[in-house]
Structure 1
């Protein structure tokens, strides 16, 4: 509820002065909001002979948080962003601590383009055409595996 001159307004017009306990509770809630997402559903994807264990970010909240606040990510893991319909997708790295590579992927699993992204940057990285899927991996993962635009990912999400 809105604050009014150093007091928090509660139902029935009761007011309560800010207390250290309440302040601690609010700070803990803010810290919790900065926790990385670790328990999203997962899907197995393939890129040639390579298997990817991808967390699936399918809701607005999951997509907005993405890989923010992560300190590390195993090399065989990534995050697959799933959108309701194909459109131009643009990603940035605000509050993202890991350097990442992003693949913009068509409905059939074909990689449209791949971009390398710097941590904590507001630089925008966009798909070259409308896509419904975006796969983030550790920086350099696609290049190290010889995977480029035009390659096809496999998995149950692709038609």
Structure 2
């Protein structure tokens, strides 16, 4: 799975989305430890807390590569674009697209306070139509297409992760 992102940074800075080669972990197995490049993340919704082990795209190159050309995303996996923008600073309006992304994704735009500002559900594979955040965000999370609805994740839900992670 993959896609390309666009970010507005005092103009328009084109970014992509994805990363490769990191094993996903099973979130219901307490004995496993996240491997390099992954991060434990939870989403608190009205029906409970949902755990994920996600890859982290933190640099401009990692965010440019993102999940492009990938088909290996797991139900408890995903990719977190944080910090967003990778250059740091204040949250910015984000716009992602699905160019070179063979599978549908749910794109969750996350405010600086950790709440979900917008969910773009079941995005269209390979589409070059921009998918805007609608407001400034500090992070973006991609999950398998349809996963947010399946788990009852909604706008306003709280996303948390270790913000001290390197």
Structure 2 unmatched runs, 5+ = 1-17, 23-35
By how many angstroms is 1:37 displaced? 1.4
| Greater per-residue helix proportion | 1
Q: Does 2:43 match 1:47?
A: yes
Distance 1:108 1:36 in 2: 25
When normalised by structure 2's length, the TM-score is 0.70
Q: Which runs of 4+ in 1 moved over 6 A?
A: none
Q: Contact 1:72–1:98 at 8 Å: present in 2 too? A: no
Which residue of 2 is the match for residue 71 of structure 1?
A: 71
Q: Contact 1:55–1:79 at 8 Å: present in 2 too? A: yes
Structure 1 unmatched runs, 5+ = 1-34
Match of 1:110 among 115, 118, 128: 115
Q: Deviations over 1:69-114 (max 9, x none)?
A: 1123110000000122310010001111111000000122100000
Equivalent position SS for 2:62: helix
By how many angstroms is 1:68 displaced? 0.5
Q: Contact 2:110–2:116 at 8 Å: present in 1 too? A: yes
Q: How does 1:24-43 map to 2 (within 5 A)?
A: 37-39=20-22, 41-43=37-39
Q: Contact 2:106–2:145 at 8 Å: present in 1 too? A: yes
When normalised by structure 1's length, the TM-score is 0.73
